[in-house]
Chains A and B, each alone.
Chain A
């Protein structure tokens, strides 16, 4: 009985220790921008919550395509219906790992690269994304700007389209991560 409790105590401690390495997003903002002839296209998603493991630098995010808010309701409809086909491919995911050794005791911004897979519109592609990491007040802030080429993800822009859409979309990513509770 006594051993049992000690074992349980150890287990609880071990779990606590592991959990402390896991960070979840407190705030997260993913937006993308594309230059177009008539109206620029930009959309923002603020409800997605990524997860980060500080112990080994692994990172995962799963963003619902329908959670992207556009300035124009019609554009949002076109995004979901005609381009990204949200009914068929409802999520964009990225799973990756930080290549560098991160110093979590430093509060200055550190340049990092993350290698992993970006999966959307049914296409899985390996990517290395550059960004910065700031560890401050028990929080980890990750920031990144990267490009997505539409043809890489089999997203077609029809030629008769009046609103000519740029082939490359700029994605901006920002998240504030806090230690996971429990």
Chain B
């Protein structure tokens, strides 16, 4: 009866794989411009640099947009519990300061939850001058504000492929033309395909559902490449959107892919952990 060898013992410690939350549906909190369902890990501080060059159709004289029309956002984002995060940022074009809140409502797991849902709410404030050529642009302080709310639903189908559907609503307090509407509704799709352990191709598209302006604006569309090197993630991409905040890229993308109105862009994310130890609980 005492002949139990280690293999029999192993059967005793055998365990069914426990219910596990699906992690890393996307590499970072952004895909290209669009937010993903990802929220930073516990006590993580993310410093983000997002940069977009000018339109490629400016031609060789402007080095296909590298010389001019750049837009940059510097952002600082934090999560304490890995479920709720907030961030602030400053974007050069339109001098926008943005702040957002993001919350993981549901998390996909290997038992019975097939999807992840994250909620997003952001506010944007422009610091442009009130008067431009003695024309008063911003009558009231509230004219400087815009807002965006989003619901993001994603599924990681396997370790390579993830898909997300985004529902977004943007409200702009002050629109460029008197005939413009203040609200825009967007349905977006975001996908990533990892072709090696650390590299992925990404794609995003935002379809605007309502007609809010007579000025021709275009749906935001981007394709990109992600590479991860430890604490950094580099994202290089092409997109027709100059704007880096939700109110801009969803609603006011002024150029389109058909005439090379696209630009080269990159995001760099550096994550710092603000925690000494984790396992002493």
Contact = CB atoms under 8 A, between A and B. Distances in A.
Interface of A: 14-15, 17-18, 21-22, 24, 38-39, 44, 46, 49-53, 55-56, 58-62, 64, 66, 69-78, 80-82, 87, 90, 93, 95-97, 116, 158, 160-163
Interface string B40-69: 111110000000000000000000000000
B13 A55 contact: no
Contacts of A18: 1-2, 4
Given A56-B4, A73-B82, A162 B9 contact: no
A44 B277 CA distance: 10
Nearest to B275: A71
11 contacts: A17-B1, A39-B273, A53-B9, A58-B8, A59-B6, A60-B13, A62-B15, A70-B278, A72-B41, A95-B10, A97-B5
Contacts of B4: 18, 22, 53, 55-56, 58
Given A72-B44, A74-B41, 11 more contacts: A38-B231, A39-B231, A56-B2, A56-B3, A60-B13, A64-B15, A93-B10, A95-B7, A158-B229, A162-B230, A163-B230
A53 B277 CA distance: 34
B139 interface: no
A2 B213 CA distance: 96
A74 B278 CA distance: 13
Main secondary structure of the interface of A (DSSP, over half): mixed
A116 B42 CA distance: 37
Contacts of B159: 81, 87
Contacts of B279: 44, 46, 69
Nearest to A55: B2
A123 B157 CA distance: 26
A51 B44 contact: no
A52 B13 CA distance: 10
B13 A49 contact: yes
A60 B23 contact: no
A50 B6 contact: no
Interface string B17-58: 110100110000000000000001111100000000000000
Contact of A61 (B1, B13, B198, B232): B13
Contact of B24 (A77, A158, A162): A77
B34 to A, nearest CB: 21
B271 interface: yes
A163 B197 CA distance: 16
Contact of B2 (A21, A50, A96): A21
Given A53-B9, A61-B13, A82 B231 contact: no
B111 interface: no
B12 interface: yes
Contacts of B40: 73
A116 B24 contact: no
Interface string B267-281: 000010101111100
Nearest to A156: B197
Interface string B217-232: 0000000000011111
Contact of A95 (B6, B15, B24, B230): B6
Interface in B174-218: 197-198
A112 to B, nearest CB: 15
Contact of B273 (A64, A74, A87): A74
A58 B197 contact: no
B2 A76 contact: no
Nearest to A164: B230
Contacts of B23: 77, 80-81
What 10 pairs across the A-B complex have the smallest Cβ distances?
A73-B41, A60-B9, A72-B273, A95-B6, A163-B230, A55-B2, A58-B6, A60-B10, A44-B279, A162-B230
Nearest to B277: A71
